[in-house]
Structure 1
Amino acid sequence: MEDKSPQTQRFIRKIILPALIGGVVGFAAASGVLSVMDSKTIGTFDESAVVAALVGSLYLVIGAGVWVGALRPKVGAHFLNVEDADELREQKKVLTLSGAAMALWGVSLVALALAAPAGVLPQAAALTIGAGGLVLGGVISVSVYRACDELMRAINLEAGAISYGLVMLIAGGWAMLAHLGYAGAPKPLDLLSLLYVLVLVASFIVIGKRGMLAPR
């Protein structure tokens, strides 16, 4: 029992507590988004727009968490699955850029969700923010890839390959069923939200396969 106790404490500190913190923050963000969108003060939104806003907000929350870890390593070491604050200091550049890319992608999707005629954001502004965030986030992600070590580059490539497979399976399957009349056709925002989610799913699959979800 004495040998397992430190491992149990580490599991609670590195996995359970961060998961609880992330769940609380995510729930608060989602509740805020739903409250604002349901109030109809900024527009009347359908389910596709609400889901897109929620997914975009998730990206913003993740980006903010990564930023905190990069800029405040001692704080980040308490909720990110790393060995210590020094690991975050070593990865500061990569984490800062990654957080920026995630935030830009999140802003992009939220802007599209709030676009007129249903939302308060003019279509031209939504297009500028949406396309700008998507492109700038992509450019930054290239810089992140170049700044990564060999292991992280391999993980990025594997996640990209799995993302492609998931898109073919899920988005392709949805399109097939819609074409044959067995399901409703996906709306443009549905496809964007789906792509955003599948990228996250692929990333978790890869880091899980490589044992990077275990307490460190």
Structure 2
Amino acid sequence: MNQEQGKPIPWTRKLVVPMIAGAICGGLVAFATTQLFDTDWVGAAGPSRMFAGVIGALYVLLAVGVLVGAMSPALGEKYLQAEDADELREQQAMLVQSSFAMLAWGIGLFLLSLAAPVGPLAMPLVGIAVCVLMLAGIYFAWQSHRRSDELFAAVNSQATVYAYYLMFLVAGGWAVLAHLAVVPMFQPIDLITTFFVVALLAAFAAAGQRGMMVPR
């Protein structure tokens, strides 16, 4: 049990305060990213690339937050949903690998949003970097899964199922409506960004169903 001078940490500090702090940090990162895309350096990127950049930046923010908490359990127990610092120490290897995966994927998506011909970054270099980062993310995610205990392994499996059906619903439904000329067809980067958003939502949904989103 988390303790502070012999008393459990109040649920307001364990849940509400981290949520508010996370919302503020996320809002600042999103605002900074949109401001970047409004500069002359980026050019006329458009809403699809801007949204991809925001999602990539948020992935990086989440990855850094989890990584810091995993590497410093005494700090991490104050905002990560763990019973105490000892639990974070037990899960450290898994959380670090998971953070590396999210970091690689987030940077990859952010670079992709800045790629030429619309963006300022050279397309061949971005293509190579994104391929390396995506493969690195897959490697770290697999290493994280291998180090997961029974609960986290079950959450990973459930999140994968949720992501599959959500992608089928969102991307498939969008494609059907576009085929019927009800909505415009999505751009390739829209589909990639959708993968990222759906994966994150599925992970939170699976964790919430397993009771991992409440203070412990």
Q: Is the TM value for this pair above 0.5?
A: yes
Residue 40 of structure 1: how far off its partner (Å): 2.1
Residues 1:149 and 2:149 aligned together: yes
Cα deviation digits, residues 92-114 of structure 1 (max 9, x gap): 11111111000000011001100
Equivalent runs, 1:66-215 vs 2, <5 Å: 66-215=66-215
RMSD: 1.3
Normalising by the residue count of structure 2, what TM-score does the alignment of the two structures yield? 0.94
Cα deviation digits, residues 3-24 of structure 1 (max 9, x gap): xxx88x6221111001011111
Equivalent runs, 1:25-64 vs 2, <5 Å: 25-64=25-64
Normalising by the residue count of structure 1, what TM-score does the alignment of the two structures yield? 0.94
Contact 1:73/1:86, CA 8 A, preserved across alignment: yes
Cα deviation digits, residues 181-211 of structure 1 (max 9, x gap): 1111010110011110000111111111111
Select between 184-193 and 127-136 the one with higher mean Cα deviation: 127-136
**Structure 2 residue identity aligned to 1:161:** V
Identity of aligned residues (%): 37
Cα deviation digits, residues 84-135 of structure 1 (max 9, x gap): 1111111111111111000000011001100011111100111112111111
**Partners of 1:178 and 1:137 in 2: how far apart?**
31
Contact 1:175/1:185, CA 8 A, preserved across alignment: yes
**Partners of 2:31 and 2:180 in 1: how far apart?**
37
Contact 1:107/1:129, CA 8 A, preserved across alignment: no
Specify every segment of 5 or more residues in structure 1 that has no aligned partner in the other structure, as ranges.
1-5
Contact 1:37/1:43, CA 8 A, preserved across alignment: yes
**Partners of 2:67 and 2:168 in 1: how far apart?**
32
Residue 41 of structure 1: how far off its partner (Å): 2.2
Contact 1:67/1:99, CA 8 A, preserved across alignment: yes
Residue 163 of structure 1: how far off its partner (Å): 0.3
Specify every segment of 5 or more residues in structure 2 that has no aligned partner in the other structure, as ranges.
1-6
**Partners of 1:151 and 1:87 in 2: how far apart?**
13
Select between 9-18 and 49-58 the one with higher mean Cα deviation: 9-18
Contact 1:97/1:144, CA 8 A, preserved across alignment: yes
SS at 1:20 equivalent: helix
Q: Which has the higher helix share?
A: 1
Q: Tell me the matched-pair count.
A: 210
Partner of 1:20: 20
**Structure 1 residue identity aligned to 2:28:** A
Residue 168 of structure 1: how far off its partner (Å): 0.6
